[in-house]
C-alpha cells in the first residue's frame, strides 16, 4: 500500500437506533426508592428482548413504568433470570447506581440465593465447581460442563428430603447462564420440571394408587430466586430481601409431602 492509494471501506449505518416498545405489563415491586427497585419476577416472562421474544418482556415493562430507564444500559437491569425461573431481580434507576451495582455483582458482593426441588435424594450440603461453556446444536443453544468454559461455582444446602426428591437452598458464587440448572443436572439431580436440563427426571408419582404426572403439577422448572443481600449503591446500608415460594412450587411440595412425609429438615 502506497501513500496515494485509494482505500474503499463499506460501512452500513442504521438510519435510526432501535426504538424498543414500552408495554404495560404489571410488575410485582417489593422495594423501590430513587436509585433502584427490586421486583419479584413471575413465571413465563422473559427479562430482555431477543430471538423469539421481541417484546412483552420485563425490559418493555420497565420502559412503560419508568420511561427514564430508556437512557440506561438494558433499562437498568443488573442481572437476569430465565424465562420460567421466578423471584427477585435488581434494577438500577440511575447511571451511578447502575455502575455501582454492576461492580458489586462482578466482585461477588451481591448475595443471591434460590430454592429448588430436584430429582433424587441428596444426602448432604456441597459445592459444585465445574466450568460452563455455551454449546450450539441444531440451531439450539444450551450450556454444558467443559474444561474450556467459564468458572462457575454453586453451593447448595439441604432443606428436606422426600421419597424421591430433595428440596435445596442454593447460593450462587458466579452467575453463568443456566448455571444452577446445568450444575444440578451434571451431578444427576436435575431440577423438577426442567425442559432442557432433564437428565434423571422422575415423571410419575403414585399416591394411594393414583398416578400424578409431574409435568401436569408443575409446568416449568422448580427454581425460585428467594433472597438478595447487598449494600445500597448510594446510601451504603445493607438491603436484605426475601421472596416466598410461588404457589405452583408450594403445590408441588404438598404433593411430595403426600407422596412421602418429609424425613429431614436441616436448613432454615
Number of helical H runs and strand E runs in the chain? 5, 13
Question: Contact 205/212 with Cβ under 8 angstroms?
Answer: yes
Report the 10 Å Cβ neighbour count for 120: 16
Question: Contact 93/137 with Cβ under 8 angstroms?
Answer: no
φ, ψ of residue 49 to 5 degrees: the values are -55, 145
Which grid coordinates are listed for 42? 413471575
CA dihedral 227, 229, 235, 236 (to 10 degrees): 180
Q: Please tell me the total number of residues recorded for the chain in this structure.
A: 268
CA dihedral 114, 108, 99, 56 (to 10 degrees): -20
Q: Which of 121, 120, 145 is nearest to 134 (CA)?
A: 145
Question: Choosing from 32, 71, 82, 248, which is the catalytic residue?
Answer: 82
Report the 10 Å Cβ neighbour count for 54: 12
Decide if 82 is catalytic: yes
Stated as kind and residue range, the H or E segment containing 136 is strand 132-137
Q: Which residues are catalytic?
A: 82
Amino acid at each position: 500500500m502506497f501513500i496515494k492509494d485509494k482505500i474503499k471501506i463499506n460501512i452500513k449505518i442504521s438510519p435510526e437506533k432501535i426504538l424498543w416498545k414500552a408495554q404495560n405489563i404489571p410488575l410485582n415491586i417489593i422495594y423501590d426508592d430513587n436509585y433502584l427497585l427490586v421486583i419479584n419476577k413471575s413465571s413465563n416472562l422473559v427479562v430482555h428482548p431477543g430471538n423469539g421474544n421481541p417484546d412483552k418482556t420485563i425490559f418493555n415493562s420497565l420502559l412503560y413504568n419508568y420511561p427514564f430507564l430508556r437512557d440506561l444500559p438494558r433499562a437498568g437491569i443488573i442481572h437476569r433470570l430465565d424465562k420460567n425461573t421466578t423471584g427477585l431481580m435488581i434494577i438500577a434507576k440511575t447511571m451511578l447506581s447502575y455502575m455501582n451495582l454492576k461492580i458489586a455483582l462482578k466482585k461477588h458482593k451481591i448475595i443471591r440465593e434460590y430454592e429448588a426441588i430436584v430429582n433424587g435424594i441428596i444426602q448432604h450440603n456441597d459445592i459444585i465447581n465445574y466450568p460452563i461453556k455455551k454449546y450450539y446444536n441444531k440451531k439450539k443453544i444450551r450450556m454444558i460442563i467443559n474444561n474450556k468454559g467459564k468458572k462457575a461455582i454453586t453451593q447448595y444446602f439441604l432443606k428436606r428430603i422426600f421419597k424421591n426428591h430433595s428440596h435445596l437452598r442454593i447460593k450462587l458464587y458466579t452467575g453463568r447462564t443456566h448455571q444452577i440448572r446445568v450444575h444440578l443436572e451434571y451431578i444427576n439431580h436435575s431440577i423438577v420440571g426442567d425442559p432442557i436440563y432433564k437428565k434423571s427426571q422422575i415423571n410419575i408419582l403414585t399416591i394411594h394408587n393414583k398416578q400424578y404426572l409431574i409435568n401436569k403439577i408443575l409446568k416449568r422448572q422448580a427454581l425460585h430466586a428467594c433472597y438478595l443481600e447487598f449494600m445500597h449503591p448510594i446510601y451504603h446500608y445493607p438491603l436484605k430481601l426475601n421472596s416466598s415460594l410461588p404457589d405452583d412450587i408450594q403445590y408441588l411440595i404438598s404433593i411430595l409431602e403426600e407422596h412421602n412425609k418429609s424425613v429431614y429438615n436441616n436448613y432454615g
